[in-house]
């Protein structure tokens, strides 16, 4: 091959390269991938494994929309989200927020870059949820926007925004506070995650009957107990849920809610 | 594997993986997926490379295998990736008549030409990467050069081929 041809070949191949933004995106995805052992430790992904992510989605739904779903004939739901972040900045989250908005009049506010208590935006996902009836037919589908915030102590708080109204439940929240004229509910509950077909003993059955802040969810691979703390409120037709399984205090979550309400 | 190492991997090898993917798949759209596949395989395994050239050779072999897997499952991947098509911008493909001609060659010729003339590997090294004999790789290079020379001397030959395909 002549030198001229070799040079032209090399020059044309040199033109083929990733942009800096694409490389940055790849680095972030790799850093947070469950397949990356160091990434798992860093982002606490061990606690947010794929099955646990699905379980956290179950918690979100329990805290927000189950009775509403029941009135529509929906008896079960399927929720899906990626295990790695799809979106890496609050600006990127506007894509899924616009998709979630659909025909709703009020747009979702931007996800904050950070909160005063040190939680910083780490990444986010679109959550696709389908409500199914008893015959497994899809009755309703909706999209929620879910952002994750982390602090230097490796605690994680998720912020979910949704147009699904919150549940009208007779279960009293652990604590309620008014922030301006908006009631904000705090809940601290124990969730027992079990595999499908798990045999529950009498003590667990009894607790299910008597303890409003004890829930059981099946479908995970292993038996695991997780304590979830959350605050939820509705502002201008949008439901907000701040949720953590890392023992984030009620005061911290209320403070975050206040920042969102006062925005 | 901390952020600094992740950055090192991406900055050192992502463009090379893109170029190999392009040589194999004739498009750049799936290159980012191929990159992720290769890097995640490296991150999730316990590989002990004796030096940088050893690491690079492993990445090239793994990329080629990932491209082969992609070709096998390419229909399914295209169908599912359509949903996300709007979110990922494929790297810009070069505008070069010479490269266009190279891309008309069979993929074993293309990849051999790339590894030899761009990455600077010898026939023996390319043979190891492709899992072929040295004679086979020499044949790829010789035939590739000969076909390319023919196309450069007679550009109409390629045009006629394209017209046939369209009809």
Query: How far is it, in rounded angstroms, from Cα B23 to Cα B106?
Result: 10
ipTM: 0.81
Chain Cα centroid distance, residue A30 = 20
Q: What local confidence, expressed as pLDDT, does residue A220 receive?
A: 62
Could you tell me the pLDDT band of residue B139, with boundaries at 50, 70 and 90?
Answer: very high
- Higher per-residue confidence, B72 vs A95: A95
In this structure, what token pair is assigned to residue A81?
């989200």
Q: What is the structure's pLDDT at A140?
A: 74
- Which residues touch A78 (CB under 8 Å, ≥6 apart)? A129, A130, A132
The pLDDT score that the predictor gives to residue B165 is 24
B contacts of A32 (beta carbons < 8 Å) = none
pLDDT tens string B73-82: 554 444 344 4
A27 lies within 8 A of chain B by CB = yes
Q: Which residues of A touch B148 (CB under 8 A)?
A: 1, 5
Q: Is B94 left (phi over 0), alpha (psi -120 to 50) or beta?
A: beta
Give the up-direction half-sphere exposure of residue A79: CA atoms within 13 A in the CB hemisphere: 25
Chain B's closest residue to A33, CA to CA, is B40
pLDDT higher than threshold 70 for residue B156: no
Q: Which residue has the tokens 């995805």?
A: A29
Q: Nearest-CA neighbor of A223 among A245, A193, A196?
A: A193
Pick B117's closest partner by Cβ from A6, A16, A23: A6
C-beta separation of A45 from B43 below 8 A:
no
Taking residue B72's Cβ as centre, other Cβ atoms within 10 Å add up to 10
Contact A232, A174 (CB under 8 A): no
Contact A16, B22 (CB under 8 A): yes
Closest of B73, B74, B94, B77 to residue B85, by C-alpha: B77
A interface mutation test: which of B7, B101, B114, B119 has the most A CBs within 10 A? Answer: B7
CA nearest A228: which of A203, A208, A248? A248
Q: What percent of chain B has pLDDT over 90?
A: 33
Nearest by CB to B91, which of A5, A18, A37? Answer: A18
Which residues 92-131 in chain B show a CB within 8 A of chain A? 92-96, 98-99, 102, 113-114, 117-118
pLDDT at res. B48:
80
Write down the pLDDT at residue A83: 53
Helix (H, G, I), strand (E, B) or coil at A110: coil
What's the pLDDT score for residue B68?
82
Nearest CA in chain A to B91: A18
Strands A175-179 and A120-132: unpaired
Concatenating the DSSP letter of every residue in A233-261 gives: EEETTEEEEEEESS---HHHHHHHHHHHH
pLDDT at residue B82 in the model:
40
Judged by CB atoms closer than 8 Å, whether chains meet at B18 and A31 is answered as: no
Q: Where are the beta strands (DSSP E) in chain A?
A: 76-80, 120-132, 138-150, 156-162, 175-179, 182-194, 214-218, 224-235, 238-244
Residue by residue, pLDDT tens for chain A (263 residues) are 788 888 999 999 999 999 888 888 888 878 766 555 554 443 333 333 334 444 555 555 555 544 344 455 655 555 555 556 788 899 999 999 999 998 888 999 999 999 999 999 998 988 877 766 666 677 777 888 999 999 888 888 999 999 887 655 566 788 899 999 999 999 888 888 777 677 888 888 788 778 878 877 765 666 778 888 999 999 998 999 999 988 899 999 999 999 999 98
d(CA A189, CA A214): 6
What average pLDDT score do residues B142-164 get?
Answer: 68
Q: What is the predicted pLDDT for the residue at A214?
A: 83
Q: Is the pTM of this model over 0.80?
A: no
Would you call B2 and A22 a contact, using CB atoms and an 8 Å cutoff? no
Contact state of A15 with B9 under an 8 Å Cβ cutoff: no
List alpha helices for chain B, DSSP H. 3-25, 31-44, 52-72, 74-81, 97-102, 107-113, 123-130, 134-153, 155-166
Average pLDDT over residues B63-87: 59
pLDDT score of B85? 45
pLDDT tens digits, B21-54: 999 888 887 888 889 889 888 887 777 888 888 9
Taking the C-alpha atoms of residue B58 and residue A215, their distance in angstroms, rounded to an integer, is 49
CA distance A199 to chain B (A): 35
How confident is the model over B103-126, as a mean pLDDT?
92
- Comparing CA positions, the residue from A240, A195, A211, A263 lying closest to residue A100 is A240
Contacts of B72 (CB under 8 A, 6+ apart): none
Name which of A6, A8, A9 to mutate to probe chain B: the one with the most chain B Cβ atoms within 10 A of its Cβ: A9
Closest-CA distance of chain B to residue A35, Å: 6
What is the residue-averaged pLDDT of chain B? 79
DSSP per residue, B18-38: HHHHHHHHS-STTHHHHHHHH
């Amino acid at each position: 091959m002549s030198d001229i041809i070799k040079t032209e070949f090399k020059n044309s191949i040199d033109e083929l390269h990733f942009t800096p933004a694409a490389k940055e995106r790849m680095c972030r995805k790799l850093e947070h991938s469950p397949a990356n052992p160091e990434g798992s430790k860093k982002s606490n992904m061990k606690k947010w494994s794929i099955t646990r992510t699905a379980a956290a989605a179950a918690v979100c739904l329990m805290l927000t929309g189950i009775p509403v779903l029941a009135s529509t004939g929906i008896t079960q739901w399927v929720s899906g989200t990626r295990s790695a972040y799809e979106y890496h900045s609050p600006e990127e989250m506007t894509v899924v927020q616009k998709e979630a908005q659909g025909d709703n009049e009020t747009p979702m506010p931007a996800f904050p870059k950070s909160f005063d208590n040190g939680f910083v935006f780490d990444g986010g996902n679109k959550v696709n949820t389908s409500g199914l009836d008893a015959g497994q037919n899809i009755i309703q589908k909706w999209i929620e926007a879910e952002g994750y915030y982390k602090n230097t102590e490796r605690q994680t708080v998720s912020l979910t925004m949704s147009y699904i109204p919150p549940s009208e439940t007779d279960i009293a929240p652990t604590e309620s506070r008014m922030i301006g004229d908006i009631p904000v509910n705090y809940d601290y509950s124990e969730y027992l995650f079990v595999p499908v077909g798990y045999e529950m003993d009498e003590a667990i059955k009894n607790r299910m009957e008597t303890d409003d802040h004890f829930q059981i969810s099946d479908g995970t691979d292993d038996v695991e107990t997780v304590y979830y703390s959350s605050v939820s409120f509705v502002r201008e037709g949008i439901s907000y849920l701040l949720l953590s399984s890392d023992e984030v205090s009620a005061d911290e979550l209320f403070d975050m809610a206040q920042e969102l309400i006062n925005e | 594997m901390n952020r600094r190492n992740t950055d090192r991997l991406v900055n050192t090898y992502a463009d090379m993986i893109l170029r190999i993917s392009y040589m194999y798949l004739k498009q750049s759209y799936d290159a980012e997926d191929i990159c992720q596949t290769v890097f995640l395989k490296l991150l999730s395994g316990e590989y002990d490379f004796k030096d940088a050239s050893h690491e690079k050779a492993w990445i090239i072999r793994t990329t080629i295998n990932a491209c082969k897997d992609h070709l096998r499952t390419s229909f399914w991947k295209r169908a599912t990736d359509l949903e996300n098509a709007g979110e990922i911008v494929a790297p810009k493909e070069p505008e070069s008549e010479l490269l266009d001609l190279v891309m008309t060659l069979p993929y074993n010729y293309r990849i051999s030409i790339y590894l030899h003339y761009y990455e600077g590997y010898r026939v023996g090294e390319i043979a190891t990467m492709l899992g072929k004999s040295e004679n086979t790789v020499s044949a790829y290079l010789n035939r590739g050069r000969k076909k390319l020379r023919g196309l450069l001397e007679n550009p109409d030959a390629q045009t006629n081929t394209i017209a046939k395909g369209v009809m």
